[in-house]
A = this chain, B = another copy of it.
Amino acid sequence: MRQPPTRYLILAEGFSADPHYGKTALGVLRYRRNDVVAILDSERAGESDDGVPVVGAVEDALPFAPTTALVGVATQGGRFPPAWIDLLKQCIVNGIDVENGLHVFLADDSELRSLADQHGVVLRDLRRPPADLSTATGANLEVQGTIVLTVGSDCAIGKMTVALELDLEARRRGERSLFVPTGQTGIAIAGWGIAVDAVVADFIAGAAERLVVEGSARGGELLWVEGQGAILHPVYSGVTVGLYHGSAPHLLVLCHEAGRTEIEGAGGGPHPIPPLRELVDLHERLALTVRPARVVAVAVNTRALDEEGARAAVAAAEADTGLPADDPVRFGAGRLVDAVLAARG
């Protein structure tokens, strides 16, 4: 039986000041715009955002017939403030499923869970790992087709976005291309996946392996694996490298934000970002000996620059690395997809 299409109500209460609503809501708004029927934010009730109506309360959203409420915000410490619990209960009693991207799991709250059971509602914790995960087995190396991993010089510079944009462009060209989600936002967008940062440390590569195996089983012959973190990130490098080796990529696309010279948000710094050519080399040398991986292109995030600055930043990345570079969001994904397809051979 085919599921009815998801109709999202994005819960953004209290996040008016943050136009991004958090990464997960923003990702869904950008890549599943047609599935979003309303945004809840009482401070902006009556407005609209990219054509999506903003409502002030759950009951005001009901005329839009949402099937699923998305908790896309990153609350402090990943906890739910008490006001949010009320909001979630209102969704549940109105028969709306809840998808949650936070570290804290809704289904672990016995009150919410019994309320959900009572109303036949699903609480979907996007970051909850599958119960049967294990260590990597080598099945990743048996996957047919081409595996491409987006890697980066830091967190939060667009590794997921680059994978999504390149996948879209490849599909436009008729490739059997598939985005492979490894974090809560990617999972919300694609409707499947594992948040590899939430699994037991021993199982990171096992989770990544399972994802590429599943991507292949879903028909993908060109798999775009969403990267996480950075190999020199003081906090998240373990996840980055486990994902790298577990996803067993043939090709890498290096993502970088123009102008960023230090890893952001990590304590004990400053943590300088090495020159891109050094990152290219380090990534290639860190490949599994049995699965050499080549960086074939650089994706430059130029969001902070004007047009001229953006073109200069792309040119600088090309000059530094000797690789094709581009900003796929600003200038289209064509050039980067060209580079990947050419390298695939």
Binding site for B on A (CB under 8 A): 135-142, 196-206, 231-246, 248, 266-274, 282, 285-286, 288-290
Q: Are B202 and A200 in contact (CB under 8 A)?
A: no
Chain B residues with CB under 8 Å of A246's CB are 234, 238
Measured in the bound complex, the distance between the Cα atoms of B199 and A197 in whole Å is 11
- Say which residue of B197, B202, B232, B273 sits within 8 Å of A202 (CB atoms): B197
Q: Which residue of B lies closest to A263 (CB)?
A: B289
Measured in the bound complex, the distance between the Cα atoms of B288 and A204 in whole Å is 21
Q: Are B268 and A141 in contact (CB under 8 A)?
A: yes
What 6 A-B pairs have minimum CB-CB distances, sorted nearest first?
Answer: A238-B242, A138-B267, A138-B268, A141-B268, A204-B238, A241-B241
Q: A141-B268, A200-B201 are in contact. List 18 more A-B contacts (CB 8 A).
A: A136-B234, A136-B266, A139-B267, A198-B200, A201-B203, A201-B204, A202-B235, A202-B239, A232-B288, A232-B289, A234-B288, A237-B241, A238-B239, A238-B245, A241-B241, A270-B290, A271-B290, A282-B285
- Say which residue of B138, B236, B271 sits within 8 Å of A288 (CB atoms): B271
Q: Are B201 and A290 in contact (CB under 8 A)?
A: no
Chain B residues with CB under 8 Å of A274's CB are 289
Measured in the bound complex, the distance between the Cα atoms of B138 and A236 in whole Å is 12
Q: Which residue of B lies closest to A134 (CB)?
A: B77
Among A141, A201, A234, A241, find the residue whose CB has the most chain B CB atoms closer than 10 A: A201
Chain B residues with CB under 8 Å of A136's CB are 234-235, 266-267
Q: Which residue of B lies closest to A233 (CB)?
A: B245
- Shortest A74–chain B CB gap in Å is 13
Chain B residues with CB under 8 Å of A288's CB are 232, 234, 271
Q: Are A239 and B242 in contact (CB under 8 A)?
A: yes
Q: Are B201 and A232 in contact (CB under 8 A)?
A: no
